[in-house]
Structures are given as C-alpha cells and as structure tokens.
Amino acid sequence: MKKLFLFLIILLLITPFSASAFLDGPIVPCGRDLDGSGQLEKSEQCTFCHIFEMAKNIIDFIIELLIVVVPLFVVIGGFMILTSRGTPEGVSKGKKIITSAIIGLVIALLSWTILGMIFNALVGPEGFPWPWNEVQCEGGGLTEEDEYEDQPPVVEDRCDEMSIAGYCLGDYYCQRGVIDQIKDMTQEMDIFLDCMKDKISNNAKEISSISDNSGGRCFEEWNGKCSSGTDSCTGECCGHSQYSLHYGGSGCRGTSYAIDFAQEGSYEEIKAAAQQCAEKSGFGQIDVINEGDHVHVELDQVARNKGCI
C-alpha cells in the first residue's frame, strides 16, 4: 500500500497536471528567453523580488496539488473499506487514510489563513499596498550598464518619486501616486472605505485621488491654478479647489474627508453603496458627485461636525 501511495504522488508530480496546470505560468517566474533571441530582455531578467514570487508559486502549487490529491486518497480509503469485507484491519486502514487526508488539507488551509492574519497584524491598520499573498515583481535585474557604486539613481522630476499604481487598502486599486496619499486619509474615511469594498464590484474599486500629489503644499496654500483634477506631482499647481475636503476644507488642513473613484461609469453603484455605508457608520449626510471623469465622494456631515467647513 505504501508503494501505491508513493506511485500516485510521483505520477501527479510528473504529469502535465503539475505546475503548468495549476499556475498561470511556470514556478520560476523569470530568466526565460521568451523570444528565442539568446539574450534576456530587461523585463525577463531576475531580481531579488522573484525569489519571493517563486516561493509564492511553490506554496500555491502545493495547495492546488492537495486539492487534487486529498479527494483521491479519500476515494482510495473508501475503496479499501468497501473491499475489506468487514475486517477490522481493512476498515481501520481505510478510515486512517481518509482521516489523514482531510486533516492534512485542513492544516494546509488553516496555515494559509493564519499567515494572512499574522502579516496583516504586523503591518497595522493600513495593511499591505496589495493583497499580502500576491507578490508583485517587475523585471530588470542589474546589468553592466545598470550597476552603480555608492550613487543613488538620479530623480529627474518630482513625478518620478511618486508611488506606482497597485493594490491598496485591501481590495482597492490605487492609480499612480495615490498610495502616497493614504497617510492623509482620516479614520472616518478608512472606516467608510472598509465598508464600501464589500458593496461595489472590482471594476468600481479604482481610486484616483485621496488628497494631492503636491507633497502637502496644497494644505498650506493654493495658487488658483490647475484646479480641475490635474495631477500636481510637479508641485506647480494643486489638483483640487482651494477649500476642497481633499485638503480638509478650511479648518482641518492636512487631512482628507474626500475620495475620488476613477470609474465614473459606476456612479450609481458607488452612490448606492456610499449611502448604505454612511448610514451604517452613522456618518450622516454625504455628497456623491459624478464629475465626468471620476466620482467624487465626501463625508460632508462628518467634516462639518469636526469644524472643517
């Protein structure tokens, strides 16, 4: 029987239903010459981050493999019970196989859940900028031309310092620069967004603005230029009007009681969910406005109660 189990495991590992069947790509995510040129493009080169992406792929593969193997062992255990003719030894072996298979799967799934709880507890209330189990790497390993000694890369523009687009605040997707603005978000807005994420579709969960990319300058002054939602990473203008709740209104500068969703086509969906969450959280009156190229949501009553407007 032990030989049979060993044979089944080896068979599963070497058949086409292995990594390529379970994963979107190979276990090793880089270092492959995709175009057959004999030279790796920059996007194909490995970085240190790819070690973690490979580890994630291995874990995913093991979990998916267990989902296939466990039912197989349950069937084997049941078959042994049926063919044991009622002998205690045969029935006992069959039950042990079924029990061990189920316990193994439960332990694997619980371990995944426990790891998620530990990681999220370590990073605090803001969480990871993307789901903790989704490692995101960009190609571009060091080449002779890319190496430098004791000299940091030169930043040509303040816009180059902005955060890249990526997942944020749990299930949301932040456009370029928005992750930098999370620090300006009020606790009430954090509670509001946490409520919203389970009430809107993934397509609607794209955030285009929380405060501003001007590095805080617009909290202190406003020069009247570029006040039409224009990105202000250059520091030459402010992206919102002078007393916008993106900047904390007139009395709470440096905080944001507003948020912009990028998908204006989801206006009705966002509005309905926002009103439900405002009522559930006791935030009172809110404003939900279709600005044409985005949906603006602000916690109007909360800001008034705080003396911001």
pLDDT given for residue 155 in this prediction:
42
Other Cβ atoms closer than 10 A to 307: 10
Residue pLDDT, tens place only, 197-221: 889 999 999 999 998 876 566 777 6
pLDDT band, residue 150 (cuts 50/70/90): very low
- Residues 34, 24: Cα–Cα separation, whole Å: 16
Q: Which residue has the higher pLDDT, 172 or 43?
A: 172
Per the CB < 8 A criterion, the answer to whether 9 and 17 are in contact is no
177 token code pair: 């620069």
Q: Strand, coil or helix: what is 168?
A: strand
Summary mean pLDDT of the chain: 76
Q: Which residue has the higher pLDDT, 273 or 26?
A: 273
Domains and CATH numbers, the chain: 2-123 (no CATH), 158-305 (3.30.1380)
82 token code pair: 């049926």
Surface-to-core class of residue 110, CB atoms within 10 Å of its CB (0-12 exposed, 13-18 middle, 19+ buried):
exposed
Q: Provide the whole-model pTM.
A: 0.50
- Stretch 151-180: mean pLDDT: 75
pLDDT given for residue 171 in this prediction:
85
Residue 148 reports pLDDT greater than 60: no
Residue pLDDT, tens place only, 251-261: 998 899 999 99
Q: What percent of the chain has pLDDT over 90?
A: 25
Instruction: Give CA 112 to chain center in angstroms.
Output: 16
Of 27-41, 118-132, 208-222, 223-237, minimum mean pLDDT range: 118-132
Of 57-66, 94-103, 143-152, minimum mean pLDDT range: 143-152
Residue 275 reports pLDDT greater than 80: yes
Closest CA to 116 of 67, 170, 65, 192: 170
Residue pLDDT, tens place only, 97-132: 889 888 888 887 787 777 767 766 665 545 555 555
pLDDT given for residue 144 in this prediction:
40
Residue 26 reports pLDDT greater than 80: no
